[in-house]
Amino acid sequence: MGLLDMELELISTIMQTQLASKLGKSANSSDVSMSALNIGSSFGGSGGGSSEFSLLMSALMYKIAEQNSSQIPASVLSSLPFNSDFTLPFALSAAPTGIQYIAPAAEFDQSRYPLNVWQTCSPELAGTVAQRSPELLKAIVDQFKVERNNRYTPNRGGYTYCNIYVQDVMSALGVELPRLGAIATEEWLASQGVANGWYETDAKTAQMYANAGRPAITSMGSDGHLQVIVPEQNGAYDPSKGVAISQAGSQNHAYTHQTKMDKLRYWVHE
């Protein structure tokens, strides 16, 4: 996680906490989120488009960091463009709590996880067709740390990387997919999948395969999205939640559920 990512995460947390305190509502409520958006817009756009907004957010970041100095490295504090003499144009109602600095992940060795996504990666843990278990599948998926791994950072270079993530995980499972885009991968599965051990199935069967530690993925047609189906933490497939998945994309999730079942196609490997 870089400095900008850390700033945004801390700023988002403190703004929602402060607004929730003022509104007497949950920090996760839509009113709080909307109010944060309105504050951003008043400084020139919800994304902080103006220099005034950026400067104010950097200043706020410094004050937050200063109050959490025991959790944030001095090198990060010293890199910010303000010091302890700077006064914010408003007061923080209370010192933020529960905010933690997460250092850049040293374990993401670029020789193993190259930022050039068309280069294959070489994770430490891998499986084969003869090695299948839900524990091994979970461990293989977890090692990629998709929510933090810069290889899959959303919009890095203007792209998202759902196809790369699925291809990387399948490769680690000993099952190769062609290095294609998401839509082209679905077309390949439909036309050449059977010859390469891939079969189309339904959601329940796909979840059963993943629960047994066997390769299973989703595709989403013209929407151009791929996901890894992972073992369901609560056991059997629940049609009200959809399959359990791990994905890269516009949002990266190590574990969540896919409910857009009308758009999905399900594929398993024998």
Residue pLDDT, tens place only, 250-260? 999 999 998 67
pLDDT above 70 as % of the chain: 60
Q: Report which of residues 58 and 135 the model is more confident about.
A: 135
Contact, 165 vs 229, CB < 8 A?
A: no
Q: What's the pLDDT band for 66 if we cut at 50, 70, 90?
A: low
pLDDT above 90 as % of the chain: 42
Average pLDDT over residues 37-55: 39
pLDDT at 57 over 70: no
Tell me whether strands 198-201 and 253-258 are parallel, antiparallel or unpaired: unpaired
Which residue type does 174 have?
Answer: G
Contact, 228 vs 248, CB < 8 A?
A: no
Average pLDDT over residues 219-237: 92
Cα–Cα distance measured from residue 90 to residue 146, given in angstroms and rounded to the nearest whole number: 37
pLDDT tens digit sequence for 82-104: 444 545 444 444 444 443 433 44
Contact, 168 vs 227, CB < 8 A?
A: no
Numbered ranges of CATH 3.90.1720.10 in the chain: 134-269
Exposure string (b/e) for 19-53, b if CB count within 10 Å is 16 or more? bbeeeeeebeeeebeebbeeebeebeeeebeeeeb
CATH of 134-269, one of 3.30.43.10, 3.50.50.60, 3.30.420.40, 3.90.1720.10: 3.90.1720.10
Alpha-carbon dihedral angle through residues 219, 148, 7, 44, given to the nearest 10 degrees: -10
- In the chain, what are the helix, strand and coil shares in percent, each to the nearest 5? 40, 10, 50
